[in-house]
Chains A and B, each alone.
Chain A
Amino acid sequence: MAVAEELRPGIAARVLGSPSLRLAGRRLLAAIPVLWGVTFLTYVVMNLLPGDAAQELLGANATPAEVHQLELQLHLNEPFWVRYGHWLAGVLHGNLGTSVVNGENVTTILGARLPLTAELLGYAFVASIVLAVGLGVLAARKPNGIADRFSIVVSMTGLSVAPYVLALVLIYIFAVRLQWFPAIGYTSPSVNLAENLKSLTLPAVAIGFPLFSVYTRLLRADIVEQMQREDYIVTARAKGVPPWRILLRHALPNSMFGLITLIGLNLGTLVGAVAIIEPIFSLPGVGAILIQSISDHDVPVVEGIVVVFAAVVVVANLLTDVLYTALDPRIRYERSAS
Chain B
Amino acid sequence: MSAPLPELLAPDAAVKPVAARARARGGWARGLRLWLPAGFLLLMLGACFVWPNIYTLPNPVRGSVLEAGLPPLSPGHVFGTDPVGNDVFSRILYGGQISFEVGFAVTAIGLVVGGLLGIAAGYWGGAVDTIISRVLDVLIAFPALVLALVIAEGLGPSELHVIWALSVFSVPVYGRIARSATLALREQTFMLAARLSGTRGWRVMLRHIVPNITPQLMTFSLLGFGVVIILEGALSFLGFGIPLPEASWGSMIAQGQQTLSASPDLVLIPSAFLFATVVSLNLLGDALRERWAI
* Residues of chain A at the chain B interface (Cβ within 8 Å): 33-34, 37-38, 41-42, 45-46, 49-51, 156-157, 159-165, 168-169, 171-172, 176, 268-273, 275-276, 279-280, 290-291, 294-295, 302, 305-306, 309-310, 313
Contacts and interface: CB of A to CB of B under 8 A. Distances in A.
Given A42-B150, A45-B154, A168-B253, A276 B134 contact: no
Contact of B274 (A165, A272, A309): A165
B150 A50 contact: no
Interface of B: 134-135, 137-139, 141-147, 149-151, 153-156, 226, 230, 233-234, 237-238, 240, 250, 253-254, 256-257, 260-261, 264, 267-268, 271, 274-275, 278-279, 281-283
A271 B149 CA distance: 12
A269 B155 contact: no
A30 B153 CA distance: 32
A37 B257 contact: no
A184 B283 CA distance: 34
30 contacts: A33-B134, A37-B138, A38-B138, A46-B150, A49-B151, A156-B279, A156-B283, A160-B278, A160-B281, A162-B274, A162-B275, A165-B253, A165-B274, A165-B275, A168-B260, A168-B271, A169-B267, A169-B271, A268-B143, A269-B143, A271-B143, A272-B234, A275-B146, A276-B237, A294-B149, A302-B146, A302-B150, A305-B146, A306-B143, A310-B141
Contacts of A37: 134-135, 137-138, 141
Contact of B264 (A42, A45, A156, A172): A172
A139 B281 CA distance: 24
A269 B230 CA distance: 14
A333 B49 CA distance: 60
* Interface residue SS majority, chain A: helix
A132 to B, nearest CB: 18
A163 B256 CA distance: 16
A122 to B, nearest CB: 18
A38 B278 contact: no
Nearest to A279: B238
B149 A291 contact: yes
Q: Which 3 A-B pairs have the closest CB atoms?
A: A49-B154, A272-B145, A37-B138
Contact of A176 (B134, B260, B274, B283): B260
Contacts of A157: 279
